[in-house]
Amino acid sequence: MMASVMPERPEPIGSPIQHFFDEALLVRGGPTRLYLIRHGQSQGNTGEDLTTDDPDLTEVGHEQAKRVGERFRDQKIDAIYASPLKRTQTTAGYISETTGITLQTKADLHEVAMGPPERDVSALSAEEERTIVKRVTDDGTWDAFPDSEGSAVARKRITGVMNEIVDGHPGERLVVVAHAGFIQTYVSIALGIPRDYVFYPFNASITSIRAKGERRVIWRLNDVSHLDGMPAGWGGIS
């Protein structure tokens, strides 16, 4: 009688350690892939228009937006979302044009509210200014800014709208065009830290986060490689 031979167990892909990293970092398992993009340079960023919270893009901002649109031309994208403001709508419009994906608008993707844009900070006393600077530096949350939306409210709104988007697109690739404060806060939420801003998102930068269930894993932070070669002062990384 011949002894039975057990089939060989297939070897895992890579090392066992790599397997566990893959699980921890959502390499496999069908996560939703989020590409968070800050809008191109706006007239508010340059100080050209501080009278409104809805300024349009500058000439530089249009060039940045075109480049980020080209970045996604040959990538598989399932949906594009943006806040209703001009600077995000215009930026997302370039991505929609190159990918052929219809732009969808979500009101709660708006920027963290920081009070009236025309506030005259020169009216603050030296002591008031020092107090605010210290809170902004030490506290690191939106609560440090007078008349802001506040950390708790902003985090609840941002978590809610992003969960809604992720839940509607399991396992898909999504572009979300938003704002600096919004992206900063969502990165902090993903990291599980109380500070609302731990880095500065450049205009037209890409920050990638993978999402599955309650887990969020950062894959790319502040990618501006598509802006290479832009002249100094054109919103590059200098």
pLDDT confidence tier of residue 99, bands split at 50, 70 and 90: very high
The pLDDT score that the predictor gives to residue 117 is 58
Q: What is the pLDDT of residues 62-95, one digit of tens each?
A: 999 999 999 999 999 999 999 999 999 999 999 9
d(CA 146, CA 131): 11
The average pLDDT across 50-63 equals 89
d(CA 160, CA 45): 27
The H or E element containing residue 134 is: helix 126-138
d(CA 82, CA 178): 6
Q: What percent of the chain has pLDDT over 90?
A: 67
Contact 211, 219 (CB under 8 A): no
Per-chain mean pLDDT for the chain: 87
The H or E element containing residue 95 is: helix 86-99
Where along the chain do its domains lie? 31-120+149-227
Residue 125, classified by CB atoms within 10 Å of its CB into exposed (0-12), middle (13-18) or buried (19+), is: exposed
Query: For 123, phi and psi rounded to 5 degrees?
Result: -80, -10
CATH fold for domain 31-120+149-227: Rossmann fold (3.40.50)
Structural tokens at position 179: 């704002």
